[in-house]
Amino acid sequence: MIDVVKYIVILLLAFAGIGASAQIMDEDTTTNQPFFKATKFNSKCYVGLDGSAVQILKIKAGGYFGANLNWVINHKFVVSAVYEELGSPTQIQKIVTPQESNDTIRLVHRYVGLGFSYIVFYNKLFSLQPGLSAGMGHIQYNYNNENYHQNFAEILPSVSATYNCTKYFRVGLGLNYRIAAAVNLNGLKSGDISGVGGVVFIKVGTF
């Protein structure tokens, strides 16, 4: 858990650094002003909370919950710091133990990533938002008082539809596909973590 918090802090610091340094540059050919001239741009921020039903262990259903911090540039471009965690009791004893076991072994899966997306029809009642998130996944479980864990890369392409109900509050639905890379933990493979998901979310902030 300490490692997860560390990665979240690193992402948020990087997020803040991007926000502080990014500028839109414009050439002014009508005056004698410098070639690199900073022009005003629109910058907003919102927090998102989501829950998703997903495919996990190839044939089972699971549930994730997540939170994200989002920086919106000119109403269209979004940079996001993303955290997700498996919330459903996903049992893996038949995979990770060499013999039949009556013990209950629960999988823990967390994801921390950086996302980029684009808002289509941002000024309409309904908008679309294709995006891509990439970062680090972490799985672990405990068996016979031993803790087993692995870190690996994850990519999440997604698309969502948002109902822009008020100036500061929005809700929507989405689809994503989790791609886990190089997972190999006592029988757990990349295909056990990868899968399609359906998402329900809310957004609170400025847009």
- Ordered by where they begin, the domains of the chain are 42-205 (2.40.160.20)
pLDDT digits (tens, 9 = 90+) for 162-194: 999 999 999 999 999 999 999 999 999 999 999
Instruction: Please give the Cα distance from 158 to 51 (Å, whole number).
Output: 14
Instruction: Please give the Cα distance from 189 to 184 (Å, whole number).
Output: 5
Percent of residues, the chain, with pLDDT higher than 70: 80
Residue 199's beta-bridge partner residues? 52, 174
Residue 56 above 50 pLDDT?
yes
Contact 200, 50 (CB under 8 A): yes
At 7, the amino acid letter reads Y
Give the residue, 169 or 29, on which the prediction is more confident.
169
Smallest Cα–Cα separation from 205: which of 154, 160, 164, 167? Answer: 167
- Specify the DSSP class assigned to residue 74: T
Question: What pLDDT score does 37 carry?
Answer: 53
Question: What pLDDT score does 21 carry?
Answer: 42
Distance linking the first and last C-alpha atoms of the chain: 32
pLDDT bucket at 25, cuts 50 / 70 / 90: very low
Q: Is the dihedral of CA 120, 157, 175, 170 positive or negative?
A: negative
